[in-house]
Amino acid sequence: MTVSDLGNGRFLVVDEHRNVIVYVVGTPGRRWAFLDGRVVREDELSPGPSVARRGRPGGQKDITAPMPATVLQVLVTPGSTVARGDTLVIIEAMKMEMPLTAPEDGVVRDVHCRPGELVQPDAVLVELE
């Protein structure tokens, strides 16, 4: 695998199967990379799902903003039943739309965002149980 710096936070990653552009934004210690529709935070140990998820007592999960962003769409309401992979919220950062998806089957307990709202990293957008 080879990685080439294309400038302006863009990197070309080439392996034997494909070429991918990775976008990296932020400052040292607080960076985010966009790869194949996923957001990976610098402080994560390995690439994960497209959104940070924090577990809470009772099996509740918080779906949080992975970076500063604008909420474009909220596709669920409290009481909605969701399946793993369902899109819950669509945000925009750096002129890129990113769907935030359900990590598992569940029920929406609460929604803490609305379209047009600017959200900060780690802000809880949706609570699942």
Per-residue pLDDT tens over the stretch 54-108:
555 555 688 988 888 999 999 999 999 999 989 999 999 877 888 888 889 999 9
Please tell me the number of Cα atoms within 13 Å of 1 on its side-chain side: 8
Q: Range of 93's domain?
A: 52-128
Q: Helix (H, G, I), strand (E, B), or coil: what is residue 100? A: strand
Indicate if the pLDDT at residue 28 is higher than 80.
no
Q: Give the integer Cα–Cα distance in Å for 117 and 70.
A: 6
Q: Is residue 118 part of a domain?
A: yes
Whether 73 and 124 map to the same domain: the answer is yes
Q: What is the pLDDT of residue 22?
A: 83
Tally of domains in the chain:
2
Q: Give the integer Cα–Cα distance in Å for 86 and 21.
A: 25
Mean pLDDT of the chain: 82
Give the pLDDT band (50/70/90) at residue 38: low
